[in-house]
Amino acid sequence: MRIMKGKYLLGGLLMAIIGAAIALFAYTTIIEKPVPIVVKDSSGIELPEAQAFLTAMQMQEGQIDFKFAAEQTVHAVVHVRTKSMVRQPDNPIMEYFYGDRYNSRPREQLGFGSGVIISSDGYIITNNHVIEDAENIEVKLNDNKVFNAEVIGRDPSTDIALIKIDAKGLAYLRYGDSENLKVGEWVLAVGNPFNLTSTVTAGIVSAKGRNLGILDDDYRIESFIQTDAALNMGNSGGALVDTKGLLVGITSAIYSPSGAYAGNSFAIPVTIVKKVVEDLRQYGEVQRALIGVVMTDVTSEIAEEQKLSEIKGAIITEVREGSAAADANLKTNDVIIKLDGVPVNTASDLQEQVGKHRPGDKVSVTFIRNGKESTLPVTMKNFAGTTSVVKPGMGAGNVLGARVEALNSSDKRTYRVDHGVKIVEIDEGLFRDLGLRKGAIILSINDKKVSSAEDVRKAIGEGEKSLKSIEGITSDGRQFHFQYGN
């Protein structure tokens, strides 16, 4: 009986073990198998968000996988090469031996940068400073194919340029959302700086809304995304993407005493980029909306003076006559804290939000005046003070048939001047009638120094009839002076 009892016990134990094994197998089959099946079927899913989500499902908690974003990006980032003719700085020794002809001879200058393909038919975003003054632009793809590129349009105010190559079926990047990008979030910087193939570096978002004061344009918009992703010379115009492989910025600048990577790089947010590119494609000219105020960040002193509860916002220091702000009854010392409900912490934040709009758009501006919060509707205007569409060639820098821009630091060194504007495009008008051509530098009008398109307009006043004198430097380096009347 004891022996039989032992056999029954052993048999029962074996049956229990077998039953548990069957149950475990069934559980594994039912519960665990659908996950790899879904991942294997993910090849047909096109949305980057969905692909990135499925990739994340296969990762351990806390892991970050950049492979998907890198694979989405590298073939859409290109190398941009430029050629331009520039006048060399004065050289007294060479001038002594060769005379004035030495300094007036333009020389070929080569430049390079990166670009981002945004459509399968060859539209490419790069930085304005990469291609400005270029007489020839070449684009080299990640597969080493080379194309000539044409300039569709450019915007010095944001440092964005749009170029195009004659190609089809290209890999391209989709736009992401830079507004929802958080400080501390991982991003990839992809560029093609050394004429090799696309290079990928990773970093985190260090800050948003940075104003560096590096653009010389009257209507500049600076609200950079700061990252610690490694960038070097030639990365300008490359892509900043999130972990989904979506474009959130165009890399534009590094902060470095030596010119090499030093831990701070800056990108133009895609909210600004997208609007500029759409304008250039649709209108051939950026439709810049303006509120018409001069503003600065709120400081602790200002917050105390204005009785603000927080040190946030953009305080108006001047309201331009006839501007959208003047029409809406905004006043000096009003502190703008929201635009269309979006918080405004700094003047750069306000610039970024305004930069998304076109003349004629109506927005709500929330501000604090004398300690009281109010909201007013504002209808934005263009640089000319109207709400109409700005035609090609009639942008903010257009004066008397020519487009002028503030001199950059390189121009100032070359021509040994500390002010002036350069003619970058010229059509029918007074400047062409005077014999001026593209590349000429205007230093003063009516004996008033000029450093911007706005300075030129103010100096001219009522138009051609009020022009008394103009002086500057021709594109081949000769000084000129025109005098009218007495």
Q: Name the residues annotated as catalytic.
A: 129, 159, 236
Q: Decide: 195 and 118 in contact? Cβ < 8 Å.
A: no
Tokens of 115: 């670009």
The rounded Cα 337 to chain-centroid distance in angstroms is 24
Q: Decide: 163 and 157 in contact? Cβ < 8 Å.
A: no
Q: Which amino acid, 87?
A: R
Q: Decide: 422 and 441 in contact? Cβ < 8 Å.
A: yes
Nearest Cα neighbor of 274 from 130, 433, 155 is 155
Q: Decide: 253 and 224 in contact? Cβ < 8 Å.
A: yes
CA dist., res. 331 & res. 313, Å (int): 15
Nearest Cα neighbor of 174 from 56, 53, 72 is 72
From the number of C-beta atoms within 10 Å of its C-beta (0-12, 13-18, 19+), residue 59 rates as exposed
Measured from the Cβ of residue 28, the count of other Cβ atoms closer than 10 Å reads 10
Measured from the Cβ of residue 47, the count of other Cβ atoms closer than 10 Å reads 10
The DSSP string of 374-434 is EEEEEE-B-TTSS-SPPPTT-STTEETTEEEEE--HHHHHHHT-S--EEEEEE-SSHHHHT
The rounded Cα 40 to chain-centroid distance in angstroms is 38
CA dist., res. 73 & res. 248, Å (int): 12
Nearest Cα neighbor of 268 from 312, 211, 206, 344 is 211
Residue 10 has phi, psi (to 5 degrees) of -65, -40
In this structure, the strands spanning 77-87 and 224-227 are unpaired
Nearest Cα neighbor of 331 from 320, 339, 344 is 320
